[in-house]
Structure 1
Amino acid sequence: MPLDTQLNSLGFAKPPAETRVVVAMSGGVDSSVVAAELAREGYDVVGVTLQLYDHGAALAKKGACCAGRDIHDARRVAEEMGFPHYVLDYENVFKDAVIDEFADSYLAGATPVPCIRCNERVKFKDLLETAKDLDADCMATGHYIQRKMGATGAELHSAADANRDQSYFLFSTTREQLDYLRFPLGHLRSKAETRALAARHGLSVADKPDSQDICFVPDGNYASVIEKLRPGAADPGEIVHADGRVLGEHRGVIHYTIGQRRGLGIGGLNEPLYVVRLDVENRRVVVGPKEMLATRTVPVREINWLGNGGFADAGEHHVSVKVRSTRPPTEAVIRPLSATEAEVELLVAEEGISPGQACVFYENGTSRVLGGGWIWRGY
């Protein structure tokens, strides 16, 4: 490429009008602002919204994502800004790739993160391929994360606004996907900036509340969803102290998570007790003192590596990791066991680490996301 070639804001050496970009539109303010901004800059914008589950049930649910109300809002933004908009029926794909695994993971005693699987298996897989079929040069989303060009190609970086950063939910983005994706909001310093842009464009969604993380779980009641999908999943069993004492009866393992203290129904004891293990096979909820929750060793598999070189080639990796989306990164050493498995040693013990959660890797001293994997065994 000649040195004097001018790149547009999406990184292509041609005018915006000749650059087609598919915008994944959830119907919320973030993706709406992305679409509106790119349309204002003169790009050939095509909006696409995925119908992920039943319209009727979702219309009555405030804060739902990718259902009836949001599809209406996305279509309205496209009309306001004057670009085409399509709705794709992905209900079956979403159920097979996300919802079923969510239910099965809970039944196995894990604490899944379905938003990661949705990005990995639906939005950044099937929708991305649809964008290519539409001859788009790239696909843009409203995620708060940054794509930066490094010495060896595109890199993934945390968002400028730490309070909005979504890197934990996007660790499984592959290098090939990263080449094609764009995240125009990642550099913004606050959600207020996003809403100001929406107001500037006169978007009808400018003041729309943020959607909740798990779009298909009404009111955060995971158990009711799982019971509906897997009848008989909430069979009762024993609540057992780690020392073997039977303390009471629970109403189904799916109602409990590692680290839980409230709602155990075993009052009257002299010590505060926490859920330290879920024995699914024997339908037992095992409780113990808080110190039993602390661990420094985290087994991780299905690793997606975005760092330089091969994951298993360089020996140990000294990084920072997040073992839960709400926790700050903590220093750790990754010891690869294969190209996709590793043992992560935390320098300071963390409490409540649960199988089914993600362990996301960050480069020390920078905002770069080095990938991550899935925690697969509890302690």
Structure 2
Amino acid sequence: MSQRKVLECDVLIVGGGPAGLSVAGALPEDVSAIVIHQDKEIGKPVRTSGGSWLSDMQRLNIPQSLFQIIDTLDIFSDNQKTHLSFQEDRPVVLDVTGLYQWLGTKAEDRGVQIFCDTKFQTTQKTDDGRFETEVRSKAGGIEKVVSKYIVDASGVHCAVLRSLSLGPKPVRYGVGIEYEYALGANDPHRAVLFVGTDALSGYGWVFPTPDNRLRIGVGIIHPDTDLSPREMLEGFLKSSALKRYGMTVEGLVLQKNGGTIPSIPYDPKLVYGQVIRVGDSANFATPIVGEGIRICIEFGDLLGRKLGKSLLTGSSKHLLDYEAACQRAMARNYRVGVSANKRISSYGVADWDKSVARLDRLNERDVVALLKAEFSAKLVLRTLLGLLRSRTEKCLKRLGGHRQS
């Protein structure tokens, strides 16, 4: 009988997406780490539309070659439109594959071993306090990894947590389908979001990419609806909606993308002794538009640095610092955002028309904050006052009309 292929390391990271790779890239060089990734290569297939923000990419030192800057954004409902021409922060569309591979290269430069086409099976804690993790490698590279710590960066599957009976998969999640076409004559710095009939229980997008493509997609929430995002996207592409949005599609589909993200209330529990979760396993996707890459990179990097300190000192304090930092950054925003997400997932055409019309009355900074799900007390107050002012004006107009009649 052949001997099993067993590797040992300080940290095993399950998942080679932006969160797992950022953890790996931030670990000290004297910490041994292994990343196992189920796909054949990093960054493929693409499972996200790749929307983010210029200020965050600059703060995270992401090379400008890996994103496309958006100057204007149009938001359409069935009967309303809001136009945003950005003067301060700008949206960007990421080269998802290029970004993930850049993160992977950074991790490998620190000595991290990355095993692709390798699927997590199960893990258990042994008597000596370490973890024995069974994996299935199609390339035949490894069969077991023994580690001191294990990071669950497996995405919405929460594979490690479920294996150790520490938590379930999310019961509510977003599902997105996206087709890529040649950019053609479309403006490379203009993006579109659409809601209403063309994307019930969610929203749709038309994004130009850094490699001169056009991503067109639809995302919806399950189980709030049993609609198929693929059927919705196919119907949208056959309709005249793109013409109304001032865009065209040329040629055949170049690539099809699809993925899922959690859409649940924020859970502050991220550290379970020597097991830590990060990324979509920890619900790191904003509750309004499901943007998660920048959050995964920022807090994945933080976790890598805190893990290094925990290994050096033997203290769990540093990991609890990571948990507390995530809670400070996300808990309130997610509490407000998830409540809004649940409400708008049931919107009809008239509701979306009203919401898009309201956006037109907000300033640029407030719209950006809403899209990023950054709900400061001042923003919530200004939004409520704006709604109250709008309703008061309507009541006064009706009252004036009654008096004249």
The structure with the greater share of residues assigned to helix is 2
The higher relative CO (CA closer than 8 Å, separation ≥ 6) is in 2
TM-score (norm 1): 0.24
TM-score (norm 2): 0.23
